[in-house]
Amino acid sequence: MRKKWIRTVLAALMSAAVLMSSACAADMSEQSEDIAAQAEVVREGGMAFIPERSVYFADVDTSYSWAFHAIDYLANTGVVSGTGNLIYSPGKSLSRADFVLMLYRAYDMEKYAEGENFADVSADAYYADAVLAARAIGIAAGDENNNFNPSRTLTRQDAMVLLKRTLDRTGLQFAEGDLSGFTDADQVADYAVDSVGALVKAGIIGGSDGKLNPTAPVTRAEMAVMLYRALHLQTVDGVAYYETRPAVRLVCVGSTIYPDVEIENYQSGTFYAGLYELTQMTKDEDGYSITLGQSQSIDDQIVWDGTNLSVNGEVMQVADDCEAIAVDMYSKRTAGLCSTGDEYKAGAVSVVDGLVQTVYYKK
């Protein structure tokens, strides 16, 4: 049975108060129904593609294996949109305004964008409502001149402070952390110690090579991982924590991207990537889960002549909505059986009930 995780959200209680009932969070974490019994079967047969890099951004490749799942989850849910056409800029530093904008989107803060903004936040700035909402609920604070300094590069410790303030307003409780295990713990500013410690204890922050690097700029990839973990907290005895979920992967079925899918027959130590037979896909109140069959090689010779689709010389029946999807860069897809030529150099087809649903190929 799957463990429950809490999608933390902000909620207003008693006019200006912004706290989610901790009882509600507890109710969510204490549910123990048989998830499998409640699951609805949404697909049987066909194939599933599990990428080893981002399917949304061309520059989030295998060198960002530690972050691409988080980045794609946030892209899928509309929290991030990248910096250009299929570009995310994962190593780029983040501004204070852009981090608050991501918090604003992730925690549905729209209804709190009321009141007076900071002196240096223009009303027509793309981040104006986000900063205004964050100020209204006590997440964003200005300096002695009522300035927010939106374009200033955000440090890692300040990102942790802003994230911890946001989580405090969801009603979740955190244990006090200990930073003594990090060699640069003394570089954490006094105002940030409690926030950094709490996020470390909760498993949201892990550090790098024994360091927290508190004064270094936070990168867009680092931010994505922090925020993803914060959005997937669990509670034990009322205390929030993040637990790594190796069986949860981003999965593509046909042209649909599912960012958080649990592999029901996951085997520890197995590297999952590429095409697999899809035995069954189910949906319950926590999301999607799949049972996988054998892995499939992308090495069939597939020919499309505009009318007929042939696989290794055999003409196949094709579904009306069949699509061809390039698995090397999954997000670059075109509706219909289109390609750079009549023959796909190497590919595989997904067949359900005798009909080809999807053509997966390598360019």
Q: Is the pLDDT of residue 339 over 80?
A: no
Spatial CB neighbours of 345, under 8 Å, sequence gap ≥ 6: 361, 362, 363
User: Helices 96-106 and 128-136, interaxial angle, to 10°?
Assistant: 70
pLDDT of residue 303: 86
Q: Two tokens at 210?
A: 């024994």
Nearest alpha-carbon partner for 330 in 261, 270, 275: 275
Q: Two tokens at 150?
A: 């939106």
Average pLDDT of span 337-343? 59
pLDDT of residue 15: 32
Q: Is the pLDDT of residue 296 over 80?
A: yes
Residue 56 and residue 88 in contact, taking contact as beta carbons nearer than 8 Å: yes
pLDDT of residue 323: 87
- Where is average pLDDT lowest: 78-92, 104-118, 329-343? 329-343
Give, as one character, the DSSP assignment of residue 209: T
- Where is average pLDDT lowest: 43-47, 55-59, 181-185, 332-336? 332-336
Residue 121 and residue 128 in contact, taking contact as beta carbons nearer than 8 Å: yes
Q: Can you say whether the dihedral through the CA atoms of 106, 230, 168, 29 is positive or negative?
A: positive
pLDDT of residue 1: 40
DSSP lists the bridge partners of residue 36 as none
Bridge-based pairing of strands 333-334 and 343-352 is unpaired
- Model confidence over 118-128: pLDDT tens digits? 999 999 999 99
Question: Which helix (H) or strand (E) covers residue 257, if one does?
Answer: strand 256-263
Nearest alpha-carbon partner for 275 in 351, 355, 353: 351
Q: Is the pLDDT of residue 3 over 70?
A: no
- Model confidence over 136-170: pLDDT tens digits? 999 999 999 999 999 999 999 999 999 999 999 99
Average pLDDT of span 182-194? 97
Query: Which residue is it, tokens 């930073």?
Result: 179
Average pLDDT of span 324-341? 72
Biggest CA pair distance of the chain: 75
Q: What pLDDT band is residue 332 in, cutting at 50, 70 and 90?
A: low
Q: What pLDDT band is residue 338 in, cutting at 50, 70 and 90?
A: low
Q: Is the pLDDT of residue 334 over 70?
A: no
Which DSSP string do the residues of 202-215 spell out, in sequence order?
Answer: HTS---BTTB--TT
Q: How far is CA 211 from the centre of its chain?
A: 25
Residue 327 and residue 360 in contact, taking contact as beta carbons nearer than 8 Å: yes
Q: Whats the size of the chain, residue-wise?
A: 363
Q: Is the pLDDT of residue 183 over 60?
A: yes
Q: Is the pLDDT of residue 16 over 80?
A: no
- Model confidence over 305-327: pLDDT tens digits? 888 899 988 999 999 888 888 88
Q: Is the pLDDT of residue 301 over 90?
A: no
Average pLDDT of span 322-346? 72
Q: Two tokens at 99?
A: 């981090």
pLDDT of residue 307: 85
**92: number of Cβ within 10 Å:** 15
Cα separation, 309 vs 17, whole angstroms: 61
Query: Which residue is it, tokens 């009932």?
Result: 21
Nearest alpha-carbon partner for 77 in 250, 218, 283, 334: 250
pLDDT of residue 9: 55
Residue 48 and residue 253 in contact, taking contact as beta carbons nearer than 8 Å: yes
Give, as one character, the DSSP assignment of residue 195: H
The residue among 331 and 313 whose pLDDT is bigger is: 313
Cα separation, 70 vs 336, whole angstroms: 30
Q: Please, what is the average pLDDT of the chain?
A: 87
How far, in Å, are 213, 275, 345 from residue 310 at the CA level? 56, 20, 13
pLDDT of residue 7: 52
Q: Is the pLDDT of residue 23 over 70?
A: no
Cα separation, 215 vs 160, whole angstroms: 11
- Percent of the chain at pLDDT > 90 equals 72
Cα separation, 284 vs 140, whole angstroms: 36
Residue 223 and residue 159 in contact, taking contact as beta carbons nearer than 8 Å: yes
- Model confidence over 255-283: pLDDT tens digits? 899 999 999 999 999 999 999 999 999 99
**255: number of Cβ within 10 Å:** 15
